[in-house]
């Protein structure tokens, strides 16, 4: 997790309302418009169904209480306002309590296509639609429970599984490969890159392989893992994931499929 950010989260008033600026709301609408032009034939049905339930496709940046009303009804989850950066202890504790962290800032125009850190568009538009889905919600909750008890080293391996599922996961469907990862669905650039270019590789999801695959947060991804079905998330959540982490540690990481960057650790 990055330790530095140029963004500052907006604070809610005493009634829980965040007063977004005209510019911030305009950025949200522009992002929504761009993604809606890209999602047909690319986003999975489970995500599109959640998008309708949350009513995210028109208007200004939604208030968190409105998101919570839908999520609570569907899966018992809610979103929780956090500063732009939180530590891993807080992150795992929130997920373990079925609370999804949302940093209440939105990206600047110069980072419109791709943002390294999670803004409210990434968290709400990218992730929250699938938190209406029982399989995705169960997997995310299980991940939080495991992370609470994991060591710092083990958390690094778990982070790779999260990256290649919740953030950058792809799904096989009868009509072709579709996107479910929030890091893709909230990034206009990555949405095209993941499915429509030859600059990346697709692999069938094997948990042990995902745990061993390095990634970088500041580039379009060179590797994506594909689920056979959305129900596979239930199956993964029911595995002995910490035993698989130990196996992955013993085997070691795969060579990265990207150029090293001196300022980033693998």
Instruction: Judge whether 141 is annotated as a binding position.
Output: no
259 annotated ligand binder: no
Residue 127 bears catalytic tag: yes
**Which residue is catalytic, options 24, 117, 123, 167?**
167
Q: Which residues of 200-227 are buried (b: 16+ CB within 10 A; e: fewer)?
A: beeeebebebbbbbbbbeeebbbbbbbb
> How many whole angstroms from its chain centre is CA 24?
21
How many Å apart are CA 265 and CA 253, to the nearest integer? Answer: 13
Catalytic choice (46, 123, 186, 190): 186
167 marked as part of a ligand binding site: yes
- The reply to whether 151 belongs to the active site is no
The answer to whether residue 19 is catalytic is: no
46, 127, 141, 190: which is the annotated catalytic residue?
Answer: 127
For the question of residue 111 being annotated catalytic, the response is: no
User: 76: how many CB neighbours lie within 10 A of its CB?
Assistant: 12
Catalytic position from the list 9, 122, 187, 190: 122
CA atoms within 13 A on the CB side of 239: 15
Catalytic residues: 122, 127, 167, 186
Output the known binding site for Fe cation: 122, 127, 167
Output the known binding site: 122, 127, 167
């Amino acid at each position: 997790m990055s330790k530095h950010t140029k963004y500052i989260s907006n604070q809610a008033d005493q009634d829980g309302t965040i007063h977004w600026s005209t510019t911030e709301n305009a950025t949200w609408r522009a992002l929504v418009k761009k993604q809606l032009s890209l999602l047909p034939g690319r986003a999975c049905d489970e995500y599109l169904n959640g998008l309708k339930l949350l009513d995210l496709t028109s208007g200004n940046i939604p208030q968190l209480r409105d998101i919570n009303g839908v999520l609570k009804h569907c899966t018992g989850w809610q979103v929780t306002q956090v500063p732009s950066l939180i530590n891993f202890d807080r992150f795992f504790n929130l997920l373990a309590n079925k609370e999804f962290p949302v940093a209440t800032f939105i990206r600047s125009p110069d980072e419109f296509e791709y943002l390294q850190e999670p803004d409210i568009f990434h968290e709400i538009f990218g992730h929250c639609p699938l938190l209406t889905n029982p399989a995705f919600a169960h997997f995310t909750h299980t991940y939080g429970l495991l992370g609470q008890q994991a060591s710092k080293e083990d958390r690094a391996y778990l982070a790779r599984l999260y990256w290649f599922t919740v953030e950058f996961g792809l799904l096989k469907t009868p009509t072709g490969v579709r996107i479910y990862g929030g890091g893709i669905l909230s990034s206009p650039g990555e949405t095209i890159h993941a499915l429509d270019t030859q600059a990346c590789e697709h692999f069938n999801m094997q948990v042990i392989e995902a745990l061993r695959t390095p990634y970088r947060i500041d580039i379009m991804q060179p590797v994506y893992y594909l689920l056979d079905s959305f129900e596979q998330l239930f199956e993964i959540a029911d595995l002995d994931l910490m035993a698989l982490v130990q196996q992955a540690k013993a085997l070691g990481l795969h060579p990265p499929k990207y150029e090293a960057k001196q300022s980033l650790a693998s």
